[in-house]
Amino acid sequence: MYVRLFSLLLTCALALNSVDAAPRMRPVGVQEAPSASQSFNQNDEKSWFAYRPREIRDDQLQAEYDRWKTRHLALCGDGSADVRKEASEAVSEGTGYGLLLAVSMGDRATFDRLLAGFQRRKNSSGMMSWRFALCGAALSQGAATDADLDIAMALVMADHKWGGYRGEAEGLISSIKRYAVTQCNGFLVLRPGDHWGACLDANDQRLNPSYFAPAYYREFSRYMPQNADFWLALAYDSYRLLNRYQQNLGGLLPDWAYVDGGMVGSYGYEACRVPWRIAMDFAWHGQAEAQMVLQKMHDYVAARGGPEAATDQKNSCFVGGLALTATAVNQDTTDSWYRLWLRGIPEAQDPMVGDNPYYQGTLRVLYMLLAGSALKP
């Protein structure tokens, strides 16, 4: 109880101290200059706190999702499905992303096929083996925690939307709590895997900031209220760490880091997902801590001329992620950066260029769904 009270008081204090920087909070349906294209949210009972690009249309999101399925979804002979990373391999990360996409788009058939793929690759921790042959057996028994978090959140969303997924959702959330979270030097931290990382690992104590998912933790606290204090404490400590890393990297986040503030690498192909994860917490819950992280990243990008100019990597992982930081700042910048993002990605035949690869192409659709408020709990 005391952790939840302290977290609430901190949130209020942060909000009061950042009145000038924080955007006006708006429930769905009363945003400035609403567009008829935003029908995903017309009957949504939850508030939506982020700015949304006016140009996003439902048919655009559907076309992006359909193209993603054609390029990256592999249907297996046993009735399951995998998200293709390479010609003959897949990873749990792709399954998590695919489940989020399918439930957001109301595609239950694809959701259930991907879920069957998860179920057949559960390891001894009850989490998903992170690497496996496409439509085949596990090639590594260890789990990658970001994937399991995405799978768990997708299951919660599916249970809210369709019903019938509570047992699977609660089981995975409990496994993450047991095997992938630990105490380190006064912080409750997320381990990168079920059997490695953080201070429990004498050989490799790294953390991955792009795995931190405070928006999910708040939803887990509501879905399993008996563990609410645990998940809210993890969200609180995640922001303590993110703020520490941002101070050391000029507003951006590193690919890997340590509890003491040490960092490994810079803003690369891991960290480029941080804006998406934090923008979810702002959009879903209006958290002041999320707004502050995004504001610092936005200021870094704005000082360099916008999301396309701020990075040498011309794909949605980078340009799209940086563009999402504007959704916590103001409407005009949100609109402008959305256009710069989608028009700045090169169209090419080369499968390794722009958003053609699995990773960049999948994040593109996830980022667009969040920007268009179609990815919601």
pLDDT at 31: 32
The model's pLDDT over 276-322, given as tens digits with 9 standing for 90+, comes to: 999 999 999 999 999 999 999 999 999 999 999 999 999 999 999 99
Q: What is the mean pLDDT of the chain?
A: 89
User: Which token pair is 186?
Assistant: 């006064």
User: Which token pair is 322?
Assistant: 């940086």
The DSSP-derived string for 243-282 is HHHHHHTTT---SEE-TTS-EES-S-TTGGGHHHHHHHHH
- 108 and 116 in contact (C-beta within 8 Å)? no
pTM over the 0.75 mark: yes
Three-class DSSP category at 25: coil
The model's pLDDT over 172-217, given as tens digits with 9 standing for 90+, comes to: 999 999 999 999 999 999 999 999 999 888 899 999 999 999 999 9
- 290 and 274 in contact (C-beta within 8 Å)? no
Q: Which residue has the tokens 């381990």?
A: 191
Domain with residues 2-28+47-371, CATH architecture: Alpha/alpha barrel (1.50)
Run of H or E including 89: strand 89-91
Q: How far apart are the first and last CA of the chain?
A: 24
Residues 6+ apart with CB under 8 A from 51: 23, 31, 326, 327, 328, 329, 330, 331, 334
The DSSP-derived string for 131-176 is EEETTS-EEEEEEBHHHHHHHHHHHHHHHHHTS--HHHHHHHHHHH
The DSSP-derived string for 36-51 is TT-GGGTT--S---S-
The model's pLDDT over 126-173, given as tens digits with 9 standing for 90+, comes to: 999 999 999 999 999 999 999 999 999 999 999 999 999 999 999 999
pLDDT at 24: 36
Residues 6+ apart with CB under 8 A from 239: 214, 289, 290, 293
Phi, psi (deg, nearest 5) at residue 322: -65, -35
Q: How far apart (Å, rounded) are the C-alpha atoms in residues 30 and 245?
A: 35
Q: Which residue has the tokens 């704005």?
A: 302
Q: How far apart (Å, rounded) are the C-alpha atoms in residues 153 and 351?
A: 30
pLDDT at 374: 98
Q: How far apart (Å, rounded) are the C-alpha atoms in residues 135 and 206?
A: 31
The model's pLDDT over 215-257, given as tens digits with 9 standing for 90+, comes to: 999 999 999 999 999 999 999 999 999 999 999 999 999 999 9
The secondary structure of residue 377, as a DSSP letter, is: -
pLDDT at 27: 31
Strands 256-257 vs 263-264: parallel, antiparallel or unpaired: antiparallel
Distances (CA, A) of 2 to 189, 239, 268, 290: 19, 18, 37, 21
Run of H or E including 183: strand 181-184
- 267 and 255 in contact (C-beta within 8 Å)? yes
Q: How far apart (Å, rounded) are the C-alpha atoms in residues 278 and 70?
A: 29
